[in-house]
Amino acid sequence: MSQLKYCQGPRCHTYDTKDRKRGPKDNKRNETRRRSNLCYLNGNACSMQCQADWFDVYGSRALDHFGRITEAKVLTADNAWRKSYDYRGYRNEADRHYVYNHLTEERRPITEQQYDNDNTITNDGRLNI
């Protein structure tokens, strides 16, 4: 059983829907949604509206906390690698996996295991094989 968690949208309780209503007839109130599975804000908000509300209230503070980009990031041949594959199932063949440099257009074959390995290309686009 997955645990119920609250939507992190700071205004979730202000949206008037049936599923947010709680309490007896003479003392109705709306509450923040609580779900086992939330689909927005990386699993932390119940709707796009609540995700947008979160960003409106906390987005700038999050950028300040984790660090803003203060100079241009640069894409060069060293960090322009992506993984991809040619689908060959329609020919009853194995798919052909490769790394592709989208700046130089160089293409190098890799194994399916290398394709599935998250470390084959680093988070910043560098080839790691």
In the complex, the smallest distance separating the C-beta of residue 24 from Zn ion, rounded to whole angstroms, is 23
Q: How far apart are CA 101 and CA 77, in angstroms?
A: 7
Minimum separation from the CB atom of position 33 to Zn ion (A): 5
Find out whether 100 and 82 touch, Cβ atoms under 8 Å.
yes
Supply the minimum distance, in Å, between the C-beta of residue 25 and Zn ion: 24
Comparison of 7 and 110: residue with beta carbon closer to Zn ion: 7
Q: In the complex with Zn ion, which residue's Cβ is closer, 9 or 110?
A: 9
DSSP conformation letters of 51-64? HHHHHHHHHHHHHH
Q: Which is nearer to Zn ion, 32 or 79 (CB)?
A: 32
| 123 secondary structure, DSSP code | T
Q: How many CA atoms lie within 13 A of 81 on its CB side?
A: 22
What are the residues binding Zn ion (CB under 5 A)?
7, 9, 12, 33, 46, 50
